[in-house]
Structure 1
Amino acid sequence: MQAMLFAAGLGTRLKDETADKPKALVDVGGKPLLQHAIEKLSDEGASRIVVNVHHFAPQVINFINSKDWGVPVLISDESNKLLETGGGLKFASHLFTPNEPILIYNVDILSNINLQDVISAHKQSNAIATLVVRQRETQRYFKFDSEHNLVGWINKKTSETKVSRPGNFEKATEMAFSGIHIVEPQIFDFMPAEDRFSIVQVYLELAKTKSIKGYFDTSELWMDVGKPAQLEEARRIYGS
């Protein structure tokens, strides 16, 4: 598989932790988050990893170049403009091989999910994208029908909804996004013309006419360490 590692975020929620370094280089258990993510992807079979950079980009680039990762780790440099998730993936499109799915992984995720299981499920489904989701409490949820097809999205705090398939929306299962997803390269053909946009909007639009599946993850460990409380918990678990 080939992989995209989203590491360009500003990390503003971590406050003092990211005053002099990017979120990708915040330490957990004696390793920067970036190292945890690259090793996770490499250990599970990634043949190449593309990392997008923006905030403190030179620090991230220097760290990547300082190690032998065992697989090619390529840089997609967004120093001039932060492009969000969809724009970041689109900007990096030339760095991927054209006939192989792309696994996307957020740098602030710590998880013991078996990525090969996700890839296998994605390939069997013939979906254009597969979104890893979990049952957990949050504000925003994807909604899936009984066959795990994406049918919409809801923000519980604001009551905003985005409906992709009206007939199945009301009874659909609400699941929280895990920051892990797989896309087929053909998704680039359906992206908007602008350079900055969210991949979530692309998924919700494509779900109206194409198959976008949810992978319901029940693995033991999943953490988003982009907030101080979660970062502190991760350091307790990982020993620092």
Structure 2
Amino acid sequence: MLFAAGFGTRMRQLTRDKPKPMIEVAGRPLISHALELAQAIHPARIAANLHYKPAPLQALLEPENVCLSLEAPEILDTGGGLRQALPLLGNGPVFTMNTDAIWKGPNPLQLAQESWDPERMDALLVCVPLARAFGRTSGGDFTADAEGRISRGGDLVYGGVQILKTERLHQVEDKVFSLNVIWNQMAAADRLFALEYPGRWCDVGNPEGITLAEDLIAADDV
């Protein structure tokens, strides 16, 4: 599931006439960088949610056989958006991926796939230490214990890639809700885990992040 429905308000004028995932980084739309990583693991299907100015995303994604979930009239946030798209994704755990970040190093989806343990985990979040998280203007999101279970606060930044069991989505009464609702339940049950990403990562949430991301892509080292 590629999250592509947001308004991109932090991008200011750059998203006046197009959605944030269509902003170019190193000559390619942001969502194309994410889609390349997703296609590399050969999933059974890929879906994306759309809301703000969806036409250019539709034109890009439909030829790539990406299933589209249009959120209208209101945007549904990450939890509501994923729940609406579940008929397109099928049963079982799903990958989700934000489309406003650049990864430098191994494919985070493949790493998550290799570390996924459904016996212990309800979600596995790929997280980046603050020291390797470029463009991050606030602190971290999580702390991991010796076994990888995570709690709120700390120096691990959620990079926007995870594997998630979806059963809990159907228990939320609200139509519009964040995946944080589900994460909190999983953490309380000791079922929320982190995988520390060994490479570098850049948030492209504002115009300054574009330059940082392009510098990261151009760098020779990991």
2:40 is equivalent to residue 47 of structure 1? no
- How far does the alpha carbon of each residue in 1:187-216 deviate from its partner, in whole angstroms, 9 at most, with x for none? 434x41111111012101222125111111
* The one of 220, 228, 231 aligned to 2:207: 228
2:9 is equivalent to residue 12 of structure 1? yes
Q: 2:144 maps to what in 1?
A: 144
Matches of 2:118 and 2:87, distance apart in 1: 26
- The answer as to whether partners of 2:125 and 2:162 remain within 8 angstroms in 1 is yes
* The one of 157, 161, 166 aligned to 1:180: 161
- The answer as to whether partners of 2:3 and 2:78 remain within 8 angstroms in 1 is yes
Matches of 1:29 and 1:86, distance apart in 2: 30
> For residue 94 of structure 1, what is the amino acid of its counterpart?
P
Matches of 2:88 and 2:56, distance apart in 1: 21
- The answer as to whether partners of 1:128 and 1:187 remain within 8 angstroms in 2 is no
* The one of 78, 86, 96 aligned to 1:93: 86
SS in 2 for 1:92: helix
* The one of 20, 37, 52 aligned to 1:23: 20
The CA deviation at 1:231 is 1.0
- The answer as to whether partners of 2:79 and 2:169 remain within 8 angstroms in 1 is no
2:175 is equivalent to residue 195 of structure 1? yes
The CA deviation at 1:174 is 3.9
Matches of 1:95 and 1:18, distance apart in 2: 27
- The answer as to whether partners of 1:57 and 1:79 remain within 8 angstroms in 2 is no
> For residue 139 of structure 1, what is the amino acid of its counterpart?
G
RMSD: 1.9
SS in 1 for 2:110: helix
Matches of 1:81 and 1:199, distance apart in 2: 17
SS in 2 for 1:196: coil
Matches of 1:227 and 1:113, distance apart in 2: 24
Q: 1:109 maps to what in 2?
A: 101
The CA deviation at 1:6 is 0.4
Matches of 1:87 and 1:140, distance apart in 2: 25
How many residue pairs are counted as aligned between the two chains?
210
Cα 1:10–1:118, aligned 2, differ >3 Å: closer, same or farther? same
> For residue 101 of structure 2, what is the amino acid of its counterpart?
I
> For residue 85 of structure 2, what is the amino acid of its counterpart?
A
Matches of 1:113 and 1:195, distance apart in 2: 35
Cα 1:124–1:89, aligned 2, differ >3 Å: closer, same or farther? closer
> For residue 46 of structure 1, what is the amino acid of its counterpart?
P
- The answer as to whether partners of 1:128 and 1:186 remain within 8 angstroms in 2 is no
The CA deviation at 1:236 is 3.8
* 1:53-132 correspondence runs (5 A): 53-65=50-62, 67=63, 69=64, 72-99=65-92, 101-111=93-103, 112-114=105-107, 115-123=109-117, 126-132=120-126
Matches of 1:216 and 1:234, distance apart in 2: 20
In structure 2, stretches of 5+ residues that fail to align are 132-137
**Which one has a bigger Cα radius of gyration?**
1
Q: 2:192 maps to what in 1?
A: 212
Matches of 2:101 and 2:149, distance apart in 1: 24
Matches of 1:201 and 1:16, distance apart in 2: 31
- The answer as to whether partners of 2:139 and 2:155 remain within 8 angstroms in 1 is no
SS in 1 for 2:146: coil
